[in-house]
Structure 1
Amino acid sequence: MVLKRRGPALWHRLGYLLSFVAPGVLVYACFVLAPILLSVGYSLTNANIFATETRFVGLANYLNLLTDEAFLSSLRVTTILTLIIVIVPNAAGVGVAVLLDRKGWLYNTLRSVFFVPVVLSSVVVSVVWMAMLSDEGLINSMLRGLGVAEPPGWLSDPDLALYSIGFIISWQMLGFCSVVYLAGLQSVPQSMHEAASIDGAGPWLRFRKVTWPLLASSLTTNTVMLLITGFKAYDHIQVLTAGGPGVGTTSTLAFNVMQVGFTANRTGEASAMAIVMLVVIAAVSTVVLRVLNRREVSL
């Protein structure tokens, strides 16, 4: 009798579980797994919307990437841009969080102000900064007012364009990093600061020995998010420089995929690039996550 009663109850529980899990799994399968599998399939062919016949080419598209100058250049550009995006908002975010870790309406307002760029569209942010960094924009006008005869071309100089884009994306992500670090700061027990202060530790020593180790999880979250943001950068590139100035100066992996796939209509090659980008992002994120998680455990 006990087994017979447990049987229907178990099936009811499984039914409830499936009713909650199934919609999420279905959405994930349709919008994540299916596109990835389709991309893998296309990457093994010479797919082109203007081609009369689509043939299986195996790993030829992947092998061609090893000698494709445009792809290798976009990989280098993406690496530099990602390093900027990971380092700058992380470092500046800690400083901003420390400054805003106070009570009062003024600091609450400043927190909202710093977070506003995060919720803005990348296109809107790019258009605003493009106007500010143009030859006759606000930044160069201020430099001329300070006596600089020939201000730099922030987006037109091949030596500066990539760093300017890195700064813009870093500026937009600063609010996110600051909020995450601020949450970490507010979770640090005040008693630990008081104990360190009684032992004679100054503000810098307290931050280095007490606060910073307890921000390990915040650092992990920010670093992984910024890594993904850097590797998939496209909107800012398209609006600000369209991959220029020059040939491929600011062309990232994501931008190159879009150009090859939708401008040159070489769907097979673009799919191979997209799969390589997916593998690179997954591999780098996994390595960084494991390293930072080990740091958290050791602390």
Structure 2
Amino acid sequence: MRVGTPHRPEAPSATPVKQSAAGERGRDTHAKRIAPTPRRARTKGGLSRFAVFAAPGLVVYLALVLVPIAMTTGYSLTNRNPFNPPTRWVGLDNLTGLFSDDEFLKALQNTVVITVIVTLVTNAGGLAIALLLDRRGWLYNALRSVFFVPVVLSAVVVSVIWQSILVDDGLLNSMLRDLGVHHPPGWLSDPGLALYTVSWVIAWQGLGFCVVIYLAGLQGIPQELYEAAAIDGCGPLMRFRKVTWPMLAPAVTINTVMSLIGGFKAYDQIQVLTNGGPGPGTTSTLAFQVVQTAFNGNHVGYASAMAVVMLVLVAAVSVVALGLLQKREVTS
């Protein structure tokens, strides 16, 4: 019987092993090449790019906002008068003295009245006009531009125009006399009317801004909501109450806060229309009183204390109003 030679398996070749090792090294090198940048390096690069783009704006904000606020706060603690040196430290005497100053308290009262009137008139009137203009067509587009024109005009220009209309011998009183009114009101000369007249001028100029914001809010409301409300049997008033008004909550927030700030810082219209009169402090506001005290009376330290109080009031009212209105946005 023939005995066969047992079959021995051939040893694997060394070449594939070398090729496999080379392939692994190649994949490792490629993986290292495409490995992501460490997070620290990415963060450092992002911060440097952010700093490059943000630096100009931050420098301007620092120079024109933060530094003047800091300087004004420092001056409010002194008796600074550039024409009567030296400047002495008085602490909180300026701030405490404001609340026994009749002129300052009158200016504060006038400012509150103007702010309330401006906020109510611009929001109510702006919403009413926006509802009327929320339609398509060239006529409505032209009317939107007309209502927005006063916003882009200077407050001084607007005040000069209204002064020519509202003075005793102006256009409005001339028309009233032609209609048979022998003694028309003194819109700017009557102490009982001047403050409300100035408030109207300020509100008139800010009306266009509110119209644009409310129009943007109205055009952002989905029509499906109105269709669903109509299917449920809601009339126009119910649709406004249940759909339009809740959906306009962000627009109401913007317009209310901007109107509050605009009312508190009213100055140009007061200066041009009445110069704080008629009479002592009849239409004087906080901003007007600050300028008069600092530049006419040269009491920079005392005027700086007024400016600090004004800043705190505006910030406090804005924060409170913003918090309440944003809470309404969530619940609407």
Q: In which range does the TM-score fall when normalised by the shorter chain?
A: over 0.9
Q: Secondary structure at the match of 1:222?
A: helix
User: Which residue of 94, 100, 104 maps to 2:133?
Assistant: 100
1:194 pairs with one of 227, 230, 246: 227
How far the C-alpha of 1:199 sits from its partner, in A, is: 1.6
Superposed CA offset, 1:86-119 (max 9, x none) = 0001000011000000001000000000000000
Write out aligned runs for 1:173-188 (5 A).
Answer: 173-188=206-221
Tell me the C-alpha RMSD between the 2 structures.
1.4
Whether 2:317 is the aligned partner of 1:284: answer: yes
TM-superposed CA distance for 1:20, in Å, is 1.6
In structure 2, how many angstroms separate the alpha carbons of the residues matched to 1:7 and 1:96?
54
Alignment of 1:224 onto 2:253: no
String of CA shifts for 1:224-248, please: whole Å, max 9, x gaps.
Answer: 0000000000000000000000000
Structure 2 residue identity aligned to 1:104: G
1:245 aligned to which of 278, 282, 297:
278
Label 1:294 to 1:10 Cα distance change in 2 as closer, same or farther (>3 A): closer
Choose from 31, 55, 59 the match for 2:64. Answer: 31
1:49: which partner in 2? 82
From 112, 117, 123, the equivalent of 2:156 is 123
TM-score, structure 2 as length reference: 0.88
Paired residues in the alignment total: 299
Distance 2:121 2:42 in 1: 55
- Could you say which residue in structure 2 is the equivalent of 1:261? 294
Which structure has the greater CA radius of gyration?
2
Structure 1 unpaired stretches of 5+: none
Report how far residue 4 of structure 1 moved.
8.4
Q: Offset at 1:9?
A: 4.1
Superposed counterparts of 1:133-144, under 5 Å: 133-144=166-177
Distance in 1 (CA, whole Å) between partners of 2:240 and 2:62 is 45
**1:140-196: CA deviations, max 9, x gaps?**
112112221100000000000000011111111110000000000001110111111
Query: What's the TM-score once normalised by structure 1's chain length?
Result: 0.97
1:161 to 2:194 alignment: yes
- Distance in 1 (CA, whole Å) between partners of 2:112 and 2:95 is 20
The 1:131/1:4 distance shift into structure 2, 3 A limit, reads closer
Q: 1:256 to 1:199 in 2, by over 3 A?
A: same
- Paired letter, 1:38: M
- Structure 2 distance, partners of 1:94, 1:5, is 53
CA distance in 2, matches of 1:131, 1:6: 66
The CA distance in 2 between the partners of 1:9 and 1:46, in whole Å, is 52
State which drifts further: 262-271 or 191-200: 191-200
Per the alignment, residue 178 of structure 2 pairs with 145
Deviation at 1:15, TM superposition (A): 1.3
The offset of 1:7, in angstroms, is 5.0
